[in-house]
Structure 1
Amino acid sequence: MQNFNPNQKLIYNPELRFRKEEHRCVAYTIDDFFYSPDKVSILLPQEVIMLLLFDGEHTFSEVASNMAYVFGMESNDEVDYNKVLFNSLEALEKRTNIQPLVMDIAEVEASLIKQTQDRYNDPSAFIIPKEKIIFDPRDLRLSAPLSVNYNVMTSCGFKCKYCYHPLVPVKELISLKRLSIVFKELKETGCESFMLTGGDPMLRPDIDELMQSLYEHGLLYSLSTKSIISEDRIKKLHEKAGLRGMQISLDAADGKIVKNVLGITDDEYFSKAIQMIKNLQKHGIEVRVKAVLTSYNADGLADYLNLLNDLGIRRMQVVQYGRSGTRHTDDLYPSDEQMKRASEVVRQFKEEHKDVELTAGGFEKAYDEPVVVEKVTKENIFEKRAICNAGRFSLTLMPNGEVFICEQLPYDKRYVLGDLKTQSLAECWNGELMQKWLNPPERNIFAENSPCKTCPEEYYNECHKVYSRCLRFIYEHTGDTLTADIKCPRYHFEKRRIT
């Protein structure tokens, strides 16, 4: 954590958001393109109030004095309250992995300072009676979802070589009328945003009206597509549906390579995509462009990045191809030499274009391999595990209104957690299927050779209640989901390449 001058005026990070729950508070960040909650963390009420004291109007020393006053700390000349505040911030940054928590106002645009100051006018609103506070930093199960990953369609007009999506047809669509009710419930319970994905979301017949409904309900949304959208439609989406940004997937600066990788027959697709980018920019819609690095396009990465720069794109992402459980061929992996050259291209581009946000680099082989420990203990058994967000602070919505564990699993009723077509948000979020997912299953569901069969009770319960098994990765390894998480040291498998 950086040191602060006692006379610096500071404000809490404008990307930070807070929520008060019955027994604790929640902090998370929201990015300014996808609006997707990240780094969700459990905070004590006093930690939120401490951060809100950084309002951009007071110096670090003044905030330290205000903190001492607000929290009733005894006046003592021997106590360095600046040091107390610094240590508190440092510990909180380490626990939440949110950096920075506070910023010098000189680093923040004036308009953003005003928005941040106006977001939470009354820090005392986060007070929770001491006897009601329950603090468990690993319990990320919130009273309602912060975000929705909306799999608008599970169909797509492209046949991308690298696609991870199962693309299992779900033909019935939840009605726009019903969705508008769901949107209202989500907004009222503190949902921040929707990510419109698929398949291709633009294949839903009333997608424009759906986006307009999200906008009218005050829900931020992001859209990712490869579909070509006309200029007239772009203009209407901006004006009526509040479309502010769009992610376009375009994998190369060579139209023939793009056509091959996407599995399409349209010889004009590349030129149409470039024109669409220009039309989006013309109507004030920010464009983010993403590519998947494969053996097919790696050699043209420099030309690709230069093309995007010439188009005025300021947000770019290049992700390395990764194996999925739906379709994979080894020829998609870039060679060692291609990865080395691509990494150097990215390094050089970042050096020469510091005004561009390029998310890429460090391309190299990666493997799934067993977690090996000398002896399984309570200290190491979950060391490599991540907490699944499904049913904890996020929700995946399928085209038919069903709530699903993960969009990267094939459609199967076993993975359905509720149905917003027939249930209210509260009924779904707190329903029987959701509770079943968030609690340990009967051991008889597991394959006979699964370590879950013989896992000690304390580990078994914690595994499912705190973390949940990552069904996506289990499915990619086994073709089913009836065994342990691949990051469990009790589970053994053959090492395999994934990127």
Structure 2
Amino acid sequence: MPVGDFLKAVKPLQKQYKKDSIIVVMTGGEPLLRPDLPDCGMDLRKNGFRWGIVSNGLLYTEEMHNRLLNAGMGSVTISIDGLAGTHEWMRNSQHSYDAAMNAVKLVASSPRLNADVVTCVNQKNFGELNEIHATLLQTGIRSWRLFTITPIGRAASDKELSLSNEQLMQLMDFIVEKRRDKRMKTSFSCEAWLGKYEEKVRDGFFFCRAGIHIASILADGSISACPNVDRNLTQGNIYKDEFIDVWNNRFEIMRNRNWTKTGKCAECNDYSICEGSGLHWWHGERKEILRCMGKV
């Protein structure tokens, strides 16, 4: 997608919102596969948009780091999915761990960046979490977010990628413990309602912002919310629709979640609080939530 097409779609938002209240995050896939990414960022900043990236770090060299900083990048997230062997198993790429750790050190060395590391917790790295924590502390990074995989696509049948209910509880207890260590802020992602662990493993109370505070423009121009939300929930396309009109007049299915009161959610006493948990847990015919983390 030409950056001009993206800017044409989002610039009308500045008539409705303060410029600095809008943050553009370029993710993927891998955004650094796009060689003109710093130029795209510069164009965003010149037009008044704050911006950042989410990267696997493989192409995040010192040269690229400096180019992104000079283009006005304000936030960056790097994925570290285990110690060396586990990370490279997850990424199916040799030497990817060293590149990613170098990226973490680079972003940690730039105080003006809002930088963090994310880790997808799975069967392979579950027993490494303490070592990962210690390793990240040595890099100087100050924020670590952990999340689990959504059981869709290949992850639906690969048992090594998902945690058991018992492991999920152990993960929550691990995060509670590490949050006492103020050298690095450890937290769970915004992915789900967590029942008794709410406000213990992250700042604030669960609230799924998909389609409420978050919209996305995908590579083909599709307009949706978080990129991991079911493609059936796409609300339009910038090559056919005005983005601001779609934002203001569609997204009803994301802003009124009453349709999630079905299956096990229908009789749940916590429904008025969680409202069906994260939107990415509803796929296909959306008759049942893929996983309820509040009841483990």
Q: Could you say whether these structures have the same fold, taking a TM-score greater than 0.5 normalized by the shorter chain as the test?
A: yes
In structure 1, the partner of 2:31 is: 201
* Within-5 A mapping of 1:247-396: 247-253=77-83, 255-264=84-93, 266=94, 268-284=95-111, 285-319=113-147, 321-326=148-153, 327-328=155-156, 329-334=158-163, 345-351=174-180, 353-360=181-188, 389-390=210-211, 392-396=212-216
| Unaligned segments of structure 1, at least 5 residues | 1-172, 368-385, 441-445, 452-466, 488-494
Unaligned stretches of 5+ in structure 2? Answer: 196-206, 263-274
Higher helix share: 2
Tell whether the 8 Å contact from 1:404 to 1:417 is kept in structure 2 after alignment. Answer: yes
Query: What does 1:93-132 correspond to in 2, within 5 Å?
Result: none
Q: Which residue of 1 aligns with 2:269?
A: none
Residue number among 224, 235, 238 corresponding to 1:420 in the alignment: 238
Q: 2 CA distance for matches of 1:207 and 1:213?
A: 10
One-letter amino acid matched to 1:294: N
Q: Percent sequence identity over matched residues?
A: 16
Alpha carbons of structure 1 residues 430 and 309: separation in structure 2 relative to 1, 3 Å:
closer
Deviation at 1:422, TM superposition (A): 4.5
Query: Does the 8 Å CA contact 2:235/2:246 hold for their aligned counterparts?
Result: yes
Query: Which residue identity lines up with residue 182 of structure 1 in the other structure?
Result: A
Quote the Cα distance in structure 1 between the aligned partners of 2:87 and 2:22.
34
Work out the number of aligned pairs and report it.
259
What secondary structure is seen at the aligned counterpart in 1 of 2:117? strand
Q: Secondary structure at the match of 1:222?
A: strand
Using the TM superposition, give the Cα deviation of residue 249 of structure 1 relative to its aligned residue in structure 2, in angstroms. Answer: 0.8
Per-residue deviation, 1:307: 0.7
Query: 1:400 maps to what in 2?
Result: 220
Shift of 1:183: 3.7
Match of 1:229 in 2: 60
Q: 2:73 and 2:22 mapped to 1: Cα distance? A: 16
| Cα RMSD, aligned residues only | 3.9
Partners of 2:87 and 2:97 within 8 A in 1: yes
Aligned partners of 1:388 and 1:468 also within 8 Å: no
For residues 408 and 212 of structure 1, the distance between their equivalents in structure 2, rounded to whole angstroms, comes to 27
Q: Which has the larger radius of gyration?
A: 1
Q: 1:429 to 1:333 in 2, by over 3 A?
A: closer
Question: CA-to-partner distance for each residue in 1:307-330, whole Å, 9 max, x for gaps?
Answer: 1111111111122x2443322233
Shift of 1:289: 0.8
Report whether the alignment pairs 1:429 with 2:247.
yes
Provide the rounded CA distance (Å) in 2 between the counterparts of 1:422 and 1:436. Answer: 19
TM (norm. structure 1) is 0.44
Equivalent-residue separation in structure 1 for 2:74 and 2:251 (angstroms) = 36
Match of 2:266 in 1: none
Change (3 A) 1:403 1:468: farther
What letter matches 1:249 in structure 2? S
